Amino acid sequence: MLTAAGCFSRNYRSIFCAIVLIAWLGFPEESFAYLDPGAGSFAFQFLIAAGMAALFAIKMFWARIKAYFRGEKDVNAQPPSKPTADANISVSELKSDSPASLTGPDKEES
């Protein structure tokens, strides 16, 4: 169940993560890459996972509030718009369809 309090506590956590990450940014360091850069991409996603989940939860929560005041009973009932070659339309479809995840099988971040 998604609650506003849950969202905001996650928000603080994401801000904290962001500060740690910015501090970590520092100066570039040279290294001899033996492993494929995928190893760093893998580990990096664990680092940003909490922040991404929190931002997404806030966004979905906000989408529900807006939908409520617009008088839309169930945002999930909207048929997905047909994507076209236009990037913006495809991305907006991605966003508009996203609230479905709130009722989906995904779990709260532990």
Partner 1 sequence: MTEKSVRGSFRDPDGFVFTRGGSFYRQINRSYKECYDRLIESGLYKRLVEDDLMVPHEEADPAFRVNESAYKILKPETVPFVSYPYEWSFGQMKAAAAVTLTIQRRALEAGLCLKDASAYNIQFVRGKPKLIDTSSFGLYKEGAPWVAYGQFCRHFLAPLALTSYTDVRLARLMLVHIDGIPLDLAEKLLPRTTKLRLRLLVHIHLHARSQRQFANGAPSEKRASASMSLRAMKGLIDNLASTVNLLVWTPAHGAWAGYYEDNSYDATSLGEKRRIVSTFLDDVTGGWVWDLGANTGMFGKMAAQKGFQVVAWDSDPQCVEICYQEACRENETNILPLILDLTNPSPSIGWESAERLSLLERGPADVVMALALIHHLAIANNVPLDRVAEFLARAGRRLIVEFVPKGDPMVEKLLSTREDIFGDYRRERFEEAFGEYFTTDRMEPVADSGRLIYLMSRRA
Binding site for partner 1 (CB under 8 A): 18, 21-22, 24-26, 28-35, 37-57, 59, 80, 82-88, 90-95, 97-98, 100-101, 104-110
Give least dist CB 90 to partner 1, A.
4
Tokens of 10: 């996650």
Give least dist CB 23 to partner 1, A.
11
Give least dist CB 39 to partner 1, A.
4
Q: Is 83 in contact with 89 (CB distance < 8 Å)?
A: yes
Give least dist CB 89 to partner 1, A.
8
Of 59 and 72, nearer to partner 1 (C-beta) is 59
Of 42 and 71, nearer to partner 1 (C-beta) is 42
Candidates 71, 68, 63, 91; CA nearest to 7 is: 63
Q: CA-to-CA distance for 83 and 64, rounded, in angstroms? A: 23
Of 30 and 71, nearer to partner 1 (C-beta) is 30
Give the contacts of 82 (CB within 8 A, at least 6 positions apart).
Answer: none
Q: Alpha carbon of 37 to those of 57, 59, 70: distances in Å? A: 29, 31, 46
